[in-house]
Amino acid sequence: MSHLHLDHIGLLSTVSSSTTIILPDKDVAKATIGTWYERSPRWLAYVLPRSWDVTRSAKVMSEDENSVTALLVSHSAYPSVAYLYIGKTSTIFYSGDFRLQRLAEPVSSLEESLGRLGIDTVDLAIVEGTNMGSTASMMTKTGFEETLINSTSTFEGIIVSIDPLDLEAALFLYSVVEQSQRDVVVASERIFWVLKLFHEKWPRLLNKTLVAIETSRRTPPVPISSISLVNEVFRDIKRYIIIAEPTQLLEHLRRLKVQGREVDLSNTVALLLDPEPREVVREIEEEVLIRWLKMFGVHTQRVCLSGHYHPYDFKKIIQLIKPKQLLPIHTEDPDLMLKLFEKLKAHEAK
């Protein structure tokens, strides 16, 4: 498994118990999807393996007994890996989802990793192409940074919706808002769990952080200050940046409405991070969220910060791994990728 997005992990419970499942990081998987889905009454319960005993963590930057080495790559779920198989007669590179430009420090670039492994060509590359042939307009890291800086200096209130697994985006957000005078308010349990999980590694993660979540039995003990969203944060919103998952943001707004609380959120912007442009389910949910935000006077901006490489990165990727053969996956336009690949190969051979 390359990462924990649902379109990749599928239904692990259907994998035979005599098969070992390799996850990027078993502990992270247990603490996140393991806890979130274990008692789900829906199909999500089947996402989890029948037993965690059959799973283990990928070996990052070192070869396992099957001659496979995992490479940490940048994506909108942390950690995400690509796999490199170095066999006696051939080498295979397999990418799950990945982007070329990382957002934050936990991952090294593909170039660095391949360089450290001394790999400059492979026989077969199995490569995703989510954005290949896509007409969606995607923001770069610099564009996202600019949007964040402009928003903090223009709007009183800032709400950013991110996916709880997207630690890289959270780290990047923290590095940008560190320069402002605002404290970060985490208003989602699952985002808080993920930040807590990694905070020993990156202690600055929970610096200047306040937590505004409803108490729940299954929330880990809070080592940092709690704050009330309605009574404190919304009353002096210019002092904070609120981070929440889209669904929980919706929950907060619905609760306010039900309670009939008067909250003025005009002069507030909600930046909705959309890392996976083709997840239709999320888009529908987002439309509902946008209507609710509007009701409270919040200006909404969709930020398509793709978890996948941009079409213009394809050439660089091919130059980095120089595959003899390409097998496109996870794309709606494999023909385009193959045609481009043949052209680039012919060009390189000249």
Give the shortest CB-317-to-Zn ion separation in angstroms.
Answer: 17
Stretch of residues binding Zn ion (CB under 5 A), selected from 5-13, 56-64, 144-152, 219-227: 5-13
Question: Which residues ranging from 97 to 116 are in contact with Zn ion (CB under 5 A)?
Answer: 97
3-state SS of the chain: helix, strand, coil percent to 5?
40, 20, 40
- Give CA angle at 213 (270, 25), nearest 5°: 90
Asked if 25 touches Zn ion (CB under 5 A), the answer is no
Q: Which residue has the tokens 């709880």?
A: 164
Where does 187-338 show beta strands of DSSP type E? 209-211, 240-244, 268-273, 299-303, 323-329
Q: Which is nearer to Zn ion, 5 or 208 (CB)?
A: 5
The SS3 assignment for 257 reads helix
With CB under 5 A as the rule, give the number of residues binding Zn ion: 2
Is residue 274 at the binding interface for Zn ion, with CB under 5 A as the rule? Answer: no
- Compare residues 81 and 213 and give the one whose CB is closer to Zn ion: 81
Residue 29 or 270: the one with the smaller Cβ distance to Zn ion is 29
Residue placing its CB nearer to Zn ion in the complex, 252 or 308: 308
Judged by CB, which is closer to Zn ion: 69, or 80? 80
Q: Binding to Zn ion (CB under 5 A): which residues in 211-240?
A: none
| Closer by beta carbon to Zn ion, 4 or else 48 | 4
Position among 1, 4, 5, 58 found at the interface with Zn ion (CB under 5 A)? 5
CA dist list (Å): 275 to 99, 252, 336: 11, 22, 23
Q: Would you count residue 282 as binding Zn ion (CB under 5 A)? A: no
Closest approach of Cβ 5 to Zn ion, in Å?
3
Find the radius of gyration of the CA atoms of the chain. Answer: 21
The interface region with Zn ion, picked from 2-10, 123-131, 226-234, 254-262 by CB under 5 A, is: 2-10
Nearest distance, CB of residue 34 and Zn ion, angstroms: 18
Nearest to 60 by CA among 104, 36, 33, 28: 28
> How far is residue 109's CA from residue 164's CA, in Å, rounded to a whole number?
22
Cα(301)–Cα(282) distance, rounded to whole angstroms? 15
Rounded to a whole number of angstroms, the minimum distance from the CB of residue 160 to Zn ion is: 20
Give the separation between CA 11 and CA 126, rounded to whole angstroms: 22
Q: Does 189 bind Zn ion (CB under 5 A)?
A: no
CA distance 122 to 245: 39
Stretch of residues binding Zn ion (CB under 5 A), selected from 95-103, 139-147, 279-287, 335-343: 95-103
The amino acid that residue 98 corresponds to is: F
Nearest to 187 by CA among 259, 263, 242: 242
Which region among 3-11, 29-37, 206-214, 240-248 touches Zn ion (by CB under 5 A)?
3-11
Give one DSSP letter per residue of 109-134, joined into a string.
Answer: -HHHHHHHHT---EEEEEEE-TTTT-
208: contact with Zn ion by CB under 5 A: no
Q: How far is the CB of 122 from Zn ion (least distance, A)?
A: 22
Site residues (vs Zn ion, CB under 5 A): 5, 97
